[in-house]
Each structure stands twice: as C-alpha cells, then as structure tokens.
Amino acid sequence: MRIAVVALGKIGLPLAVQFADAGHEVVGVDVSQATVDLVNQGQEPFPGEAHLQDKLTELVPAGRLRATTDYAEAIPDADAVVLVVPLFVNDETWEPDFAWMDAATESLAAHLTPGTLVSYETTLPVGTTRNRWKPMLERISGLTEGEDFDLVFSPERVLTGRVFADLRKYPKLVGGLSDAGTAKGIDFYEQVLTFDERPDLNRPNGVWDMGSAEAAEMAKLAETTYRDVNIGLANQFAVYADKEGIDVNRVIDACNSQPYSHIHRPGIAVGGHCIPVYPRLYLSTDPEASIVRTARQFNAAMPDYVVGQVKNLLGSLKGVKVAVLGASYRGGVKETAFSGIFETVRSLRSEGALVSVEDPMYEDAELEAFGWKPYHLGEKVDAVIIQADHKSYADLSPADFPGIKLLFDGRRVTKAENWAGTPRLVIGE
C-alpha cells in the first residue's frame, strides 16, 4: 500500500516507521521543515523512542519512508491516510481547540482522491469524526464518504518511549461511519500491525471492531479518564491519610491484595499529553460528569497542596531557597507537557520562595528558556521538592543538598533510610 501519515511527532513518526517496516510505501507530512529534513536524513528528530533510530537508518535509505511539508506530494492516490495531529484544550474554558487539526484536515481534503481510507488517531471528543471531519472532508474534496472514500477513528494507545512494543501489546480499536468503512479500517490495520499473544484477554489480541466511530472515540476517552479519576481518588485518600497520620501506601497495598480493588498511587501531579487532557475532552460532550470534573480539579490542585505542606513545616517561604527536582512530567521522559513543574514553581513563587529547578535530562539553557534558574546538586538550599520520579533521584541523600531543612518527595522515589535525621515528607504518610 501507499500510506500517508500526517504529523511526524512522537506518535506519528513511529507509526510511519511501523507501516514502512511492514513493507509499505510511506510518506510523512509535517509542518516543520526541520523535522522533515531530519527524517529524510534518516535521523530521529527527538530522543528517547526505543528502536526508532535503528529503523530510520534502515528504512529511509531503502526508499520505504520519506517526509515532506507538501500535502500535494503525499495525499493524492494514497491507499490510506493516517492523521495524528495534536488536539489542544483551552486551560481556562476546558474546551477543545481544533485549530491545528482543522488546518491539517483542510489541507488533506484539498488533495483527497477517490478510494482512500482516512483514519484519525488523535484522541477526540465523542462525535467528532462523524460531525466535524466527515462534513469538512466532503465539502472541501467534493467527494462523498462511504462512496468515494471511507473514514474511521482508531485511537493511538501507546506511550512515548515504547511505541513499537505497545503497538504489539494492545488491541487496535477501529470504528467507522458504516460497516463497510469499519471493515476497510480493520483490513488496513491488520496489514500494518502484528500483535503479541494476550491470554489475559477475553478475545484474541488484534484489531477490534468497535461498531462505530463514536464507540472507538469513547473507548479512548474512557480508558484515560478512568486513570485520572482513580488517581484523584488516591490523592483524596492520601490527603485524608495525612490528616489522620496513616500511611496511605500500606492502605492501598492492602486494598489491592484483592482482585476487586485497583487503586492507583497518589502524587504531586498528573502530567503528560493524555491524562490531564482527555478528561476535559470527555467533559466537552458530557458536562454533567461531575465525578470526572471533581477528580480533574483535585489532581490539578496537588502542587498547591504540596507547597502548603512545605509551608506548614517551615513557616513563611519568603526568601526560602527551594529546589524542585524534575521538570519532566514523568521519570525517564524528556517532556514537559502539562508537567506539575509549572504549577509547583508558580505556587512556590507566589509564596515568595526563591525557586530553582533541576532535571538530569535538561541542560541549563533549556531550563532557563522556561524562565527557571537551574539548580545543581551540591548547591546550598533550604528545601527540596521532588516533582518527577527520575531513577537517579532514588539514591539522593542530605549530603547532596547542603543546608537542607526539608525534603518533600512528591513521588516516593527516595529511600527513607537515606534521610534519617532530616525531615522527609511524602504524600499520604
């Protein structure tokens, strides 16, 4: 097949590579000339994705994968077009911002030719594929969905850093606007993906028919919103445990010893492209989902809670030197999307603290570009807050922080025995 992939980001590029590695001709489209140039040179534009560089080194020189900024070069006569353009959410209104996706869809539609399967993999509010993309594609292309082209929704279900493994591990969900369209979507993904055996599933791992685009859209939103709600519940348990002097982790371990309980772990923040965003996409079409809204608001307030705990122990934070460890939203990933670092720094500064930031994955200049003063282990500091669970933080001790009066480990990554004699706080203990 000839396949076009629109947007060569941290999900789109590995997808393009996966399709090419399965033996198909793939053209990637991206608005960034720098990204296109790197891909065409066989170089990964971003670090940290397992096996990506090795596959690029093989596939690009072989002519099976190339990139362009020109939709007219990529879209016409494609057997399938897969779109993975980011969808943003307005921080104030919580409404989805379709600007980038609209622009990509308009450009795609202008060059769409008969016989093409169009698949959206970007997580969407329920009903978007049918009510937004279908009319837009038809109006601009002059083609009719279900007759001239087919449209499906098939959500990405992978994590950056392990995309290729996740593509094999998790069922691929497909929902179209008609039975025939869904069948074409299923046939496409069966040709480009292979799957691990999963005896834990109640049906064979592979491409799963969701029955409709709406069901596929909801499945992606539901699986991620579940995690946010679960973490919100864990955080509420932890805040209560703090008041009562209870170790919430012991409680959670005890609860999860039964197969009916799957309580997640509390933490200083919920970050990344998915968990903080998708509940708001869900709420955009189900505004009465009060449980979802409460959990999202509670999780968003956790950095303020941590800073409040530090203030309770130290008193006024005005002029207090506080180092925040971890700019990334999670350990081992160089990515700040919706990271708790932003709210943690903001909250500390609002209390008058002198804030600096450390992250082993970022250079000083990169931290400074965010408006943060870089911190280096060994520099004098009054308090330390751990925001991301980088593995290197596990062995930290007071010797790394001259003058430290308090450690607040927001991820429970440090070893309690290393901190004997120095106050060490965690959430829910």
Instruction: Select from 365, 366, 357 the least CA-distant residue to 334.
Output: 366
Please report, for residues 39, 102, 197, 223, 428, the alpha-carbon distance to residue 69 in angstroms, rounded to integers and kept in the order given: 12, 16, 38, 33, 50
Q: What is the pLDDT of residue 429?
A: 86
Establish if 392 belongs to a structural domain.
yes
If asked whether residues 72 and 197 sit together in one domain, one would say yes
Establish if 217 belongs to a structural domain.
no
Alpha carbons 224 and 159: distance in angstroms, whole number: 12
Residues 6+ apart with CB under 8 A from 63: none
**Cβ–Cβ < 8 Å for 109, 30:** no
Establish if 297 belongs to a structural domain.
yes
DSSP helix/strand/coil, 68: strand
Q: What is the pLDDT of residue 33?
A: 98
Which residues lie across from 342 on neighbouring strands? none
Instruction: Select from 136, 149, 176 the least CA-distant residue to 77.
Output: 149
Alpha carbons 160 and 262: distance in angstroms, whole number: 24
Tallying the residues shown for the chain, one arrives at: 429
Establish if 239 belongs to a structural domain.
no
If asked whether residues 201 and 264 sit together in one domain, one would say no
Alpha carbons 398 and 407: distance in angstroms, whole number: 9
If asked whether residues 193 and 260 sit together in one domain, one would say no
Establish if 224 belongs to a structural domain.
no
If asked whether residues 207 and 347 sit together in one domain, one would say no
- Cα angle 86, 88, 90 (rounded to 5 degrees) comes to 175
If asked whether residues 357 and 419 sit together in one domain, one would say yes
**Cβ–Cβ < 8 Å for 287, 271:** no
Establish if 219 belongs to a structural domain.
no
Domain boundary among 150, 185, 211: 211
The DSSP bridge pattern shows strands 172-176 and 383-386 to be: unpaired
User: DSSP readout, 349-395?
Assistant: HHTT-EEEEE-TTS-HHHHHHTT-EE--TTS--SEEEE-S--GGGGG
Give the burial class of 334: count Cβ atoms within 10 A of its Cβ; 0-12 exposed, 13-18 middle, 19 or more buried. middle
Q: What are phi and psi of 97, to 5 degrees?
A: -110, 105
If asked whether residues 290 and 376 sit together in one domain, one would say yes
Indicate the pTM of the whole model.
0.92
**Cβ–Cβ < 8 Å for 195, 206:** yes
Residue 26 lies in domain: 2-211
- Cα angle 46, 49, 54 (rounded to 5 degrees) comes to 95
If asked whether residues 259 and 173 sit together in one domain, one would say no
Mean pLDDT of successive 10-residue segments in the chain (429 residues)?
A: 97 98 98 98 94 98 98 98 94 91 98 98 98 98 98 96 97 97 98 98 97 98 97 98 96 97 97 93 96 97 98 96 97 92 98 98 98 98 98 97 98 96 95
Q: What's the CATH code of the domain at 49?
A: 3.40.50.720
Establish if 342 belongs to a structural domain.
yes
If asked whether residues 25 and 100 sit together in one domain, one would say yes
One-letter amino acid identity for 93? T
One-letter amino acid identity for 6? V
User: Distance from CA of residue 308 to its chain's centroid?
Assistant: 28
In 7-64 the beta strands, taken as DSSP E runs, fall at 25-29
Q: How many CA atoms lie within 13 A of 315 on its CB side?
A: 2
If asked whether residues 7 and 151 sit together in one domain, one would say yes
What are the structure tokens assigned to 319, written together?
């002029």
If asked whether residues 253 and 196 sit together in one domain, one would say no
If asked whether residues 192 and 259 sit together in one domain, one would say no
Please report, for residues 26, 85, 275, the alpha-carbon distance to residue 9 in angstroms, rounded to integers and kept in the order given: 15, 8, 18
**Cβ–Cβ < 8 Å for 410, 387:** yes
Residues 6+ apart with CB under 8 A from 349: 355
Q: What are phi and psi of 66, to 5 degrees?
A: -145, 170
Establish if 232 belongs to a structural domain.
no
- Which CB contacts under 8 angstroms, 24+ apart, belong to 200-209? 201/171, 205/169, 205/170, 205/171, 206/171, 206/172, 207/171, 207/172, 207/174, 208/171, 208/172, 208/173, 208/174, 209/174, 209/175, 209/182
If asked whether residues 308 and 428 sit together in one domain, one would say yes
Residues 6+ apart with CB under 8 A from 331: 388, 389, 390, 391, 393, 411, 413
Residue whose entry in the numeric block shows the structure tokens 């030197």: 321
What domain count does the chain have? 2
Instruction: Select from 268, 197, 210 the least CA-distant residue to 238.
Output: 268
Domain boundary among 186, 211, 236: 211
